Amino acid sequence: MSKPEILQMGAYPAWDVEALEAKFTLHRYFEADDKQAFIAQHAPAIRGIATRGELGANRALIEALPNLEVISVYGVGYDAVDLETAKARGIRVTNTPDVLTKDVADLAIAMMLAQSRAVVTGDAWVRSGDWAAKGNLPLQRRVFGKKAGVLGLGRIGYEVARRLAGFDMDIAYCDVAPREFAGDWTFVDNAQALAERSDFLFVTLTGGPATRHVVNQSVIEALGPKGSLINVSRASNIDENALLDALEAGKLGWAALDVFEGEPKLNPRFTKLENVLLQPHQASATEETRRAMGALVLDNLAAHFDGRPLPTPVL
Ligand code: 8YV
């Protein structure tokens, strides 16, 4: 029997490609120079899409594939998949929840510490010889005991908050409703009030139309000139222009960001700022987690084509 044909939207590690190729015929969309011609050539044969959290499958792509049955997302976020179009066509959608939660939370904490304690600038200071030539760096900001806000107490937000408790922080969170599992963490019912009471505001919201620009100019300015904004979720959750304006004007103290509008290209205004820490969307990027994510992408596709229940379905 011939192997089901899959459209591969982005690059995967070699171990995933090998495992996928054992079961499927892969068509590498990301390597095609002429995307339209590539789709036109392979469209009738394609029964599945293997994509990445931030790439997805938009309406035009789904509509161009008449025999598409399943979209397997390598990521917990599936905001880049047009769910409405998929649902209308009865196309199944899967993601990779849980396996990446703790790595994403770890990076959020690492970003808070690195920025507050000048870890990256400190390293550059030593390497460049500035330490010997100019003396010590300016003093830094204390982390432990400060006020932290977690915007979105889902799986990742919960793991971030748990870690913050280890730094004796006063923890508050905002979500659609108070969470039973939140213990003595303070519930705040809107993002602006959460920002007002926070030294560090962590954005751990799901991405998508419902959360677009939840972190707007008022929220950013409520966090204020001594506040830090840390985003390991989706760029779309923050009004990026308002963020840049506030950082440039000193109306927000600092930002540490793993995600950007239009990534991997980003607004050049970011790279001119000293009060930002910039990361290349790598919160889930440990070998252990990426292996687990790749295995789930494969398991979901294999389950679909074998007629078994999907391990981690979205639709
Ligand atoms: C990416 C992510 O999928 O889980 C998500 O939603 O955005 C990330 O884990 C990962 O960077 C692979 O592209």
The per-residue pLDDT for range 214-271, each reduced to its tens digit, is 999 999 999 999 999 999 999 999 999 999 999 999 999 999 999 999 999 999 999 9
Nearest CA to ligand 1 atom 9: 75
Residue 203 backbone dihedrals phi, psi, to 5 degrees: -100, 110
In angstroms, what is the span from residue 100 Cα to ligand 1's centroid? Answer: 9
Tell me the C-alpha distance between 307 and 217, whole Å: 48
Tell me the C-alpha distance between 167 and 141, whole Å: 14
Where exactly are the structural domains of the chain?
A: 5-99+288-306, 101-278
Q: 5-99+288-306 with 101-278: one CATH topology?
A: yes
Tell me the C-alpha distance between 271 and 290, whole Å: 28
- Among 281, 289, 314, residue to substitute to test ligand 1 (most atoms within 8 Å of Cβ): 281
Token representation of residue 51? 């994509």
The second-level CATH assignment, the architecture, of 101-278 is: 3-Layer(aba) Sandwich (3.40)
Pocket of ligand 1 (CB under 6 A): 52-54, 74-77, 100, 281, 284
Whether 84 contacts 284, CB under 8 Å: no
- Among 72, 259, 260, 284, residue to substitute to test ligand 1 (most atoms within 8 Å of Cβ): 284
> Angle at which helices 287-306 and 14-23 pack, to 10 degrees?
10
In angstroms, what is the span from residue 288 Cα to ligand 1's centroid? Answer: 14
User: What is the interface pTM, i.e. ipTM, of the complex?
Assistant: 0.97
- pLDDT for position 1: 74
The per-residue pLDDT for range 160-184, each reduced to its tens digit, is 999 999 999 999 999 999 999 999 9
From the CA of 281, give the closest atom in ligand 1: 11
Fold of the domain built from segment(s) 5-99+288-306:
Rossmann fold (3.40.50)
Tell if the pTM clears 0.80, that is, is over it. Answer: yes
From the CA of 77, give the closest atom in ligand 1: 6
Residue 6 reports pLDDT greater than 80: yes
In angstroms, what is the span from residue 265 Cα to ligand 1's centroid? Answer: 16
Tell me the C-alpha distance between 85 and 306, whole Å: 24
